[in-house]
Structure 1
Amino acid sequence: MTLGEARYLVIDRSGREHELDLTDPEKCPPVAEDPMLKQFILSEEVGYMPHEPPAHIELMRRLELVDYEPASDVGHMRFYPKGALMKDLIADWVLGVALSLGAMVIETPTMYRADEPDIRAQAERFVEKDYKLQVGNKVLFLRFAGDFGLFRMMKDVKMSVRQLPVRVFEIAPSYRLETRRECVGLRRMRKFTMPDLHCFCKDVEQALEEFRLLTLKYAELLKGLGLDFVHAYRAEEAFYEENRDFFVKLAVELGKPTLVQLMPERKHYWALKNEFQYVDSVGKSFQLSTVQIDVEDSERYGITYVDTDGSEKGCTIVHSSPGSIERLMCAVLEEAAKMMKAGGLAMLPTWLSPTQVRVIPIADRHLDYALKVAEELVRAGIRADVDDRRRSMDWKVRMAGMEWVPYVAVVGDKEVAQGTVMVTIRAKSGPDRPYKLSMTIDELRQAVLKELEGKPRRPHYLPIRLSMRPAFR
């Protein structure tokens, strides 16, 4: 089926291609069998718009993570300590993936002169999104992607064919002048934190190898955030036909049905891109990760490598990003909203939870023991805190639940005497069905550390005693 000039297919989990009619998506068997794929097609390709606001906006404020900054421009946010911690942890997770691939980390400027020919040529594609500044008689614009500074840098880099692929990573603020209507919570912003991983390859064959590697890595990255996704290819039809086996094998390797949009001719700098699309709690889809094979910018910027015969040749560039940090955070909150919508308890992955263990003393005489428990956990790299406020135990337990704390450890006379804690484990609980277990401090420590294996760790950004914390909202 075509829509405008494009033709659509779906590759099923076995690798079989199915024609897709956008006027009746459910006629396509893989779509009928996959509710998330169907919803993505309705949202992204057909244009269905949900009427409900995205759930993460209320959640980010209620959990004291993020809020709008009225003194700034639209789409610029303030991050409270818990939100800043979550954001930094996600950035650490993304950086870890880049470093695991052997990427080199760089930093480039935030603003660029609009009169530089190569930068101007690339920026003209996004002219309506530019944040422009007038400085004296010069016009500058704020970066909306990392390409400008990176490509200018790579133009001066000397690379030999034996060093390829060269992988370069940057994570930095980016700016896009989205319309006021387009700016929605953490999903679409005017100022956001963008990680970019570019791979400079000798040819299309090597670029396809990088494309596969990054696709599988980003699937793992999203899984580590507790996110499911819809996978889509968008490609020039001739490129797809030439590399059909590659497309099909990768889709099968991902284990997900894959939407394919085929265009009769190339209209972008890329010949191929894929998208990892997330469908939120109200049915709206938005892109998280992407990988793209760029066949233009090497020539535009003069990025070359030295081949074995001493000649200079242009690179094939693989652009990729796991998605803006804020948008990944948005998806994590939307995933929690889906849990609530399904009748369960909302929670974050334990490694992303601002507080991983909340220790609650039943009475003042248990406070010293509660602090001892928390301090032992903190020494092990666990974010533990103590609710020492002058409120009832039931109220404190209820507040911990409202913060989605994954482990809530209550201590009283019995626990002090036995050197134990009575733990409510959120992941095993249900609404009005708390799962409680008496544990030693070491057992609790080991249970939490098991969930943190392979994930970034940071200390809490707030005091360990809740009585010492100001209310940010």
Structure 2
Amino acid sequence: MRILQLHCDYVAYKPKQRALKSVPELSEEEKKGSKLENAVIVFSSFEVGDNEAVLLEAIHAVKKNFDEVKAENLLVYPYAHLSNNLAPPSEAILLLNHFLKLAKEHVCKDAIKSPFGYYKEFELKCKGHPLAELSKSISSQKIESTAEKLGAEKIIVEAVKPGQELVSDSLKQEDKTKRYFKVMTPDGVMHDLDKFDFSEHSNLKTFYDYENKKVRAYSSEPAHMKLMREQELVGLEAGSDGGNLRWYPKGRLVKKVLEKKITDLMVDYGANEIESPIMYDFEHPALKKYLNRFPARQYIVQSDDKNFFLRFAACFGQFLIAHDASFSYKQLPLRLFELTRYSFRREQSGEVSGLRRLRAFTMPDMHTLCEDLTQAKQEFFNQYLLCVDWNNDLGIPFETAFRVQEDFFNENKEFYTKMVAHIGRPVLFELFDLRYAYFITKFEFNFVDQYGKATSLSTVQIDVENCDTFDLNYTNSNGKKAKPILLHASIPGAIERVVFALLELQGEKIALKQKPMLPTFLSPTQVRLIPINEKQRDYCEQALSELSKHGVRVDYDDRTDTLQSRIREAETEWVPFVAVAGEKELMEGKFNVSIRSSGRQEKLSIKELIELVKNETLNQPFEKLSLPPYLSKRAKYN
């Protein structure tokens, strides 16, 4: 938004003719125009991306000036000539009306506006003091901290009636919704929070407290941020926007293996893998309707005369593909999957944090089209099991939250009891009386860190709205068109958050004086070969070749540093198997192998070492590390 404030002895205007066909006809009184004395006129251009936070910032500037110059009247004058990035007229008129409302509330109760979308003649006499002429440019991207303090919501609006408040349908409904928490134990009994004994479930209590208090920011740097730098995995990128990271070769390896693991899992589950654009048109009818219902913080891209937003999930691409596809009940459930690299969300500056909360992230996103609620519930349960297995396989502990509309819960209590019994521990339920979003139920698995923060990982949702919004249909058994029921699922959650959880777990181990390490299948180096001296070089070269040939990520410390320093460096890099060869090992045809997970040392041949690694990585994906196998040839990335 751009404003130009002039303090005037007087200002007068009169509408002449329409500039836009879409604007309404003026009343006889409005056609006369108006004249104000001792007035501040605020020439205003409303831009793409403007929202309530922007308007509040502008109102703050106007009020400050209005009070200082001791003006008596205020005129808001829509003026397109201050900007070349104007919001569409349908949105600008809503912004103007809301801006006037705020001006009446906070600056001058008798404030008026000149008509939007009309050519007008105007006359003014500007005072000559230092505060008589002030201009200001306000960007939503520069006032996140201000928006937080003011309690503003960052939203996208849809053109409906002039004068409509700048609040989304979803937020309005959410304000009316009554919500409360309960705990369900594995026996299916629901407990009031104040009567439940949390003494043996401290993480669940921490999770509830986090949900209730909603303190999102960390008071100190979380452990994973130090570890991701020390392990040469990930770095902050000063040349980009905050929350956009750079991945070094070792980090890219970890991320790529996780991406392959979830993609293989989804394809094996029966998902059709697709790829879709990263940007979408604000004015696409279905997308516009969706954004009005469920606002988000988007990056905005301008191309020619159109504005696009960068996707914050794979929903839009998959919905539009499903809209154009032909399928019947025989092909249901139909599962579409995409691993988005990347999804984008302009998180508030104070909430951006390492790998936990980003503005660009990798989201494995699956949507399932189901014939009816019975099929949808079965898919929901199956995908719930996938989420449980995924996190257990990686060793990530989690606390569960189900969020359910009350009526749906009461009709399907056994369905939830079955899922709670499966994990065998209490879970949190959030029940709400009115459906304020597109889902009637969903669950989230949350990782609770040592700082008392809970981070959502896995999630599945039953969506009863977007098949209508995006006009998704299938042919039923009677040969007629019918609406499916839709499931949203991200089995792991964002890949970055998986890495976050793994690193935070290692941070907790370090705090307990335990040895940190990633799962062997994720370790950038699985085996480190270290000769005591030059005499074992050929033996290590042979081992390097054999291990590599059998799909083991192995490197060779060929440097001339002391044996102790080379072993110490392998330990600081969390290498699972450190194989040292001296004269005795060379004669025996073995290595002295330090096994990090157990702390044991064993004498192993090359073949035995291969078998050991293969057993530890059974049924896990493999990728090569894009670094030289010789440590003397490697650059440092931290």
Category of TM-score, reference length = shorter chain: over 0.9
CA offsets per residue over residues 105-139 of structure 1, 9 Å max, x none?
00010101110010112123454501111112100
Q: Show the 5 A alignment for 1:95-174.
A: 95-125=263-293, 127-172=295-340, 173-174=342-343
Q: Which has the larger radius of gyration?
A: 2
Within the alignment, does 1:12 sit opposite 2:185 as a pair?
Answer: yes
Please give the TM-score of this superposition, normalised by the length of structure 1: 0.95
- Match of 2:467, SS state, is helix
Within the alignment, does 1:407 sit opposite 2:553 as a pair?
Answer: no
- Aligned partner of 1:460 in structure 2 is 625
Residues 1:125 and 1:366: Cα distance change in structure 2 (over 3 Å): farther
Q: Show the 5 A alignment for 1:64-79.
A: 64-79=232-247
Please tell me whether the aligned partners of residues 159 and 305 of structure 1 are also in contact (alpha carbons under 8 angstroms).
Answer: yes
The amino acid across from 1:46 in the alignment is K
Deviation at 1:376, TM superposition (A): 1.1
Residues 1:270 and 1:78: Cα distance change in structure 2 (over 3 Å): same
CA offsets per residue over residues 352-375 of structure 1, 9 Å max, x none?
000001011111221221121122
Within the alignment, does 1:35 sit opposite 2:205 as a pair?
Answer: no
Measure the CA separation in 2 of the matches of 1:130 and 1:373: 51
Measure the CA separation in 1 of the matches of 2:464 and 2:351: 30
Measure the CA separation in 1 of the matches of 2:587 and 2:525: 26
The amino acid across from 1:228 in the alignment is P
Deviation at 1:16, TM superposition (A): 2.2
Deviation at 1:282, TM superposition (A): 2.1
- Aligned partner of 2:256 in structure 1 is 88
Q: Which has the higher contact order (CA 8 A, sep 6+)?
A: 1
- Aligned partner of 2:636 in structure 1 is 471
Deviation at 1:4, TM superposition (A): 8.1
- Match of 2:379, SS state, is helix
Measure the CA separation in 1 of the matches of 2:620 and 2:559: 31
The amino acid across from 1:469 in the alignment is R
Measure the CA separation in 1 of the matches of 2:330 and 2:191: 40
Measure the CA separation in 2 of the matches of 1:208 and 1:65: 39
Please tell me whether the aligned partners of residues 383 and 460 of structure 1 are also in contact (alpha carbons under 8 angstroms).
Answer: yes
Measure the CA separation in 1 of the matches of 2:451 and 2:537: 43
Out of 226, 229, 242, the residue aligned to residue 58 of structure 1 is 226
Measure the CA separation in 2 of the matches of 1:91 and 1:352: 11
Within the alignment, does 1:395 sit opposite 2:560 as a pair?
Answer: no
Please tell me whether the aligned partners of residues 168 and 197 of structure 1 are also in contact (alpha carbons under 8 angstroms).
Answer: yes
Out of 595, 604, 613, the residue aligned to residue 439 of structure 1 is 604
Deviation at 1:32, TM superposition (A): 2.5
Please tell me whether the aligned partners of residues 358 and 385 of structure 1 are also in contact (alpha carbons under 8 angstroms).
Answer: yes
* Higher mean C-alpha deviation, range 400-409 or range 116-125: 116-125
Please give the TM-score of this superposition, normalised by the length of structure 2: 0.71
- Match of 1:129, SS state, is coil
Measure the CA separation in 2 of the matches of 1:466 and 1:438: 24
Please tell me whether the aligned partners of residues 177 and 434 of structure 2 are also in contact (alpha carbons under 8 angstroms).
Answer: no
Please tell me whether the aligned partners of residues 410 and 421 of structure 1 are also in contact (alpha carbons under 8 angstroms).
Answer: yes
The amino acid across from 1:446 in the alignment is E
Deviation at 1:342, TM superposition (A): 2.2
Please tell me whether the aligned partners of residues 55 and 282 of structure 1 are also in contact (alpha carbons under 8 angstroms).
Answer: no
Please tell me whether the aligned partners of residues 42 and 48 of structure 1 are also in contact (alpha carbons under 8 angstroms).
Answer: no
The amino acid across from 2:578 in the alignment is V
Within the alignment, does 1:178 sit opposite 2:347 as a pair?
Answer: yes
CA offsets per residue over residues 445-468 of structure 1, 9 Å max, x none?
111110111111011221111111
Measure the CA separation in 2 of the matches of 1:85 and 1:70: 22
Deviation at 1:44, TM superposition (A): 2.2
- Aligned partner of 1:255 in structure 2 is 424
Measure the CA separation in 1 of the matches of 2:264 and 2:436: 34
Within the alignment, does 1:293 sit opposite 2:458 as a pair?
Answer: no
Deviation at 1:283, TM superposition (A): 2.2
Please tell me whether the aligned partners of residues 52 and 282 of structure 1 are also in contact (alpha carbons under 8 angstroms).
Answer: no
- Match of 1:187, SS state, is coil
* Higher mean C-alpha deviation, range 435-444 or range 262-271: 435-444
Out of 433, 445, 450, the residue aligned to residue 276 of structure 1 is 445
Measure the CA separation in 1 of the matches of 2:617 and 2:392: 14
Please tell me whether the aligned partners of residues 178 and 434 of structure 2 are also in contact (alpha carbons under 8 angstroms).
Answer: no
Measure the CA separation in 1 of the matches of 2:255 and 2:471: 36
* Unpaired runs of at least 5, structure 2: 1-175
- Match of 1:246, SS state, is helix
- Aligned partner of 1:450 in structure 2 is 615
Residues 1:438 and 1:260: Cα distance change in structure 2 (over 3 Å): same
Measure the CA separation in 2 of the matches of 1:440 and 1:343: 31
- Match of 1:398, SS state, is helix
Measure the CA separation in 2 of the matches of 1:317 and 1:375: 50
* Higher mean C-alpha deviation, range 87-96 or range 3-12: 3-12
- Aligned partner of 1:327 in structure 2 is 497
The amino acid across from 2:620 in the alignment is K
CA offsets per residue over residues 335-388 of structure 1, 9 Å max, x none?
111211222111111100000010111112212211211221111111011111
* Higher mean C-alpha deviation, range 57-66 or range 95-104: 95-104
Please tell me whether the aligned partners of residues 231 and 256 of structure 1 are also in contact (alpha carbons under 8 angstroms).
Answer: no
The amino acid across from 1:164 in the alignment is L
CA offsets per residue over residues 72-120 of structure 1, 9 Å max, x none?
1111111000000000011111112111211110001010111001011
The amino acid across from 1:318 in the alignment is L
CA offsets per residue over residues 389-408 of structure 1, 9 Å max, x none?
11011000000000000110
Measure the CA separation in 1 of the matches of 2:612 and 2:574: 17
- Aligned partner of 1:356 in structure 2 is 526
CA RMSD of aligned residues (A): 1.4
CA offsets per residue over residues 175-228 of structure 1, 9 Å max, x none?
001111111001011111111011100111111101000011011111222211
Measure the CA separation in 1 of the matches of 2:611 and 2:292: 54
The amino acid across from 2:466 in the alignment is D
- Match of 2:425, SS state, is coil
Measure the CA separation in 2 of the matches of 1:267 and 1:127: 13
Measure the CA separation in 2 of the matches of 1:281 and 1:59: 15
Please tell me whether the aligned partners of residues 406 and 426 of structure 1 are also in contact (alpha carbons under 8 angstroms).
Answer: yes
